[in-house]
Amino acid sequence: MIKNVHSLVLMNDAENKGVYRRMPVQIVGAAHTPPQPYLVPVQMEQLLANYEEQAGQRHTLEAVADFHLRFEGIHPFIDGNGRTGRLLLNLELMKAGLLPVNVKYADRRRYYDCFDDFHAGSGTADMLTAMIAEYEREELARYIAMVKAAGENAPE
C-alpha cells in the first residue's frame, strides 16, 4: 500500500514511483541521516510490524505520529517522502474514524521541529501528537460550524 500511495505521488516519474531508493540521501538541515539504501526494505518491514503492534496498544494519534516520524526518518524513496508520509498519516486517521489534517505551510517550522525533537532529542512523538491533536480539534470545530450553518439555512 505504501508503494502504491507513492506511485500516485510520483505518477509522472516512471523510474522512481513506488520504488525504494537505491542511493544514499541526506536531508538538508535535519538532525538525522536516513539509513543506507540496502537497509530501507528491512527498516520498512520493522516499521510496519511496530506500527501494527502500537496501533493496538496506544491511542491512534500517538501511534500515527510515531509511524510518521519513523517513516520520514527512513526516507524510503528518492523523492516524495513528505507527501507520501502525510497521505499515509491521513489514511490512518480516517481508518480510525478521525478527520484528515493539513499540515499548514505556516506551521512548517513547527512540523520540522517535531522531527528534530524525535530523532535528536526526546525520542518520543509527543510534539507531533500534540500538533495532530490540535489540527483534529480545528477540523472538528470547522465541521461543526458547517453543520450548524447548514441547519440554520435549511428550508422548513
CB count, 10 Å around CB of 129?
22
Q: Report the C-alpha gap between 37 and 25 in whole angstroms.
A: 9
Catalytically active residues are: 75
Query: If 0-12 CB within 10 Å is exposed, 13-18 middle and 19+ buried, where does residue 76 land?
Result: buried
CB count, 10 Å around CB of 109?
7
Q: Report the C-alpha gap between 145 and 130 in whole angstroms.
A: 23
- CA within 13 Å, CB half, 103: 21
